[in-house]
Amino acid sequence: MRTSAAVVTFFVLCFAAAGAHAAPFAEGFRKCQECHEPEVEVWKQTKHFKSYNEIHKKESAAKILAAAGGGASMRQNSTCVMCHYTETKASETAKPQVASGPSCESCHGASSEFRDVHNFYGDGVADAGKEAPANKAKRIAAATKAGMVWSFMTYDIAANCMDCHGLAQPKLKGDVLAKMLEAGHPGEPEFELVRYSQGSVRHRYYPPNVNVNAEMNPADLARLYIVGQAAKLVSSTTAAGKSTNAQYAALQKKREQDSRTALQSVADMPEVKAVLDKPSADSARKLADALKGKDLSAKVKAQLPAKTTYK
């Protein structure tokens, strides 16, 4: 269901009072499903969806839970919830509840502040294809300011993946992460964004054919690969400074070395050199912006996973 014309005032409110409310909160996949049913159906076939009923049954779960601070279950442990579940609320004042495994808002941001403006195509306009360019520009800017991570914000999407697929969650202390690793929590140094995102989790339903889950072309894959490696480098170097634990330091060093090696094929780009010299979210975002419109597929083709290996 698209938002009514009454939401027109949201643009003003979003820019004038974006910080007036409590922190944005996740509303749950059913809210997203109202407009993005094909994407949600894809998600229901993924490990992210299935893990809600499976992850706590793994043999190592109890030991890792204890290392993460303990509790009655993973769903009641705030550390586990950060990556393994989506905690939602029905309203700003409602009690939060663990409602699913990692879902839409795990990657695209908590929707409570951006959902209405994200859906508003203009007064009386119900179809994105008929949206005025000026409204689209406003809508994208307002939704971004309200916390939405759009699919074209490739570094930010990649960074969200790396927070969990690398045992590098920035909200957690290094000693906790190290204890979890020692207890058997996977470190996933081999995690690579293209192989992961263009497999079972791919959900690219765009105009003009919104019923087709479109595959990326070689140029798009190359850009995504480079941004993913930059995000991995930023994640690993940031996480490495959080703990002196030898096992944890070795994990992050492995992730760092792999990403540096991968980026050598495009190291002649000044923006890549900047990331290699000083890995940061700012330098990685500048790289992602510089890659727009570039076709570097010939340079990274040998590094891309074969299609049959995509998860």
Hey, what are 117's tokens? 């403006």
Q: Which domain holds residue 181?
A: 154-309
Element (H, E) at 222: helix 218-240
Q: Return the beta strands (E) in 57-125 as ranges.
A: 86-88, 97-100
- Enter the tokens of residue 53: 């009923």
pLDDT band at 5 (very low <50, low <70, confident <90, very high): very low
**Listed residues 116, 145, 174: the one ending a domain:** 145
Same structural domain for residues 100 and 53? yes
The residue-averaged pLDDT of 213-218 equals 96
Give the dihedral sign, CA 173/71/248/175. positive
Q: Is residue 194 domain-shared with residue 130, that is, in the same domain?
A: no
Do 159 and 292 have their domain in common? yes
Residue that wins the pLDDT comparison between 16 and 176: 176
pLDDT digits (tens, 9 = 90+) for 53-75: 999 999 999 999 999 999 999 99
> What pLDDT score does 127 carry?
84
pLDDT digits (tens, 9 = 90+) for 188-211: 999 999 999 999 999 999 888 889
Contact in structure between 108 and 148 (CB atoms under 8 Å): yes
pLDDT at 260 exceeding the cut of 80: yes
CA dist 296 and 282 (Å) reads 22
In which band, very low, low, confident or very high, does the pLDDT at 16 lie, cut at 50, 70 and 90? very low
Q: Which pair of tokens denotes residue 71?
A: 């509790």
Half-sphere exposure at residue 257, Cβ-oriented, CA atoms within 13 angstroms: 7
Q: What is the mean pLDDT of residues 262-267?
A: 98
Q: What percent of the chain has pLDDT over 70?
A: 93
In terms of pLDDT, which residue wins out, 3 or 202?
Answer: 202
The answer to whether 185 and 67 have CB atoms below 8 angstroms apart is yes
Q: What is d(CA 287, CA 297) in angstroms, rounded to the nearest whole number?
A: 16
Give residue for tokens 């809600």: 52
Q: Are residues 122 and 178 located together in one domain of the fold?
A: no
Of 237 and 130, more confident? 237
Helix (H) / strand (E) element for 93: namely: none
Greater model confidence, 269 or 15: 269
Same domain, 39 and 138: yes
Whether 138 and 178 map to the same domain: the answer is: no
Three-state SS string over 137-186 comes to HHHHHHHHHCCCCCCCCHHHHHHHHHHHCCCCCCCCCHHHHHHHHHCCCC
Contact 128, 12 (CB under 8 A): no
Give pLDDT, residue 20: 53
137 and 180 in a single domain? The answer is no
Question: Which residues share a beta bridge with 100?
Answer: 86
> Where does the pLDDT of residue 21 fall: very low under 50, low under 70, confident under 90, or very high at 90 and above?
low
User: CB–CB of 53/72 below 8 Å?
Assistant: no
* 132 and 170 together in one domain: no
Same domain, 101 and 233: no
**pLDDT attached to residue 271:** 98
Per-residue pLDDT tens over the stretch 70-82: 999 999 999 999 9
Specify whether the CB–CB gap between 159 and 275 falls below 8 A: no
Query: Is residue 207 located within the same domain as residue 78?
Result: no
Joined together, the tokens standing for residue 123 give 């007064």
| Helix-helix angle 246-263:270-277, to 10 degrees | 170
pLDDT beyond 80 at 92: yes
Q: Are residues 276 and 296 in the same domain?
A: yes
- Say what the pLDDT of residue 51 is: 97
User: Residue 7 above 60 pLDDT?
Assistant: no
How confident is the model over 298-309, as a mean pLDDT?
A: 91
Q: Which of 145, 168, 203 is the last residue of a domain?
A: 145
For residue 309, pLDDT over 90 is answered with no
Overall domain count for the chain: 2
Residues 158 and 292 in one domain: yes
Burial of residue 103 (CB within 10 Å: 0-12, 13-18, 19+) is buried
Q: How many CB atoms lie within 10 A of CB 279?
A: 22
Phi and psi at residue 123, in whole multiples of 5°? Answer: -60, 115
Last residue of a domain, one of 113, 145, 177: 145
Do residues 253 and 237 touch, judged by C-beta distance below 8 A? Answer: no
User: Chain-wide mean pLDDT for the chain?
Assistant: 93
Give 127 or 121, the one with higher predicted confidence.
121
Per-residue pLDDT reduced to its tens digit, 267-290: 999 999 999 999 999 999 999 999
Q: What angle do CA 296, 298, 300 make, to 5 degrees?
A: 75
Q: Are 155 and 224 in contact (CB under 8 A)?
A: no
Q: Which region among 6-10, 112-116, 148-152, 180-184 has the lowest average model confidence (pLDDT)?
A: 6-10
Q: Which residue has the tokens 């000026």?
A: 134
What is the rounded distance in angstroms from the CA atom of residue 10 to the CA atom of residue 222? 37
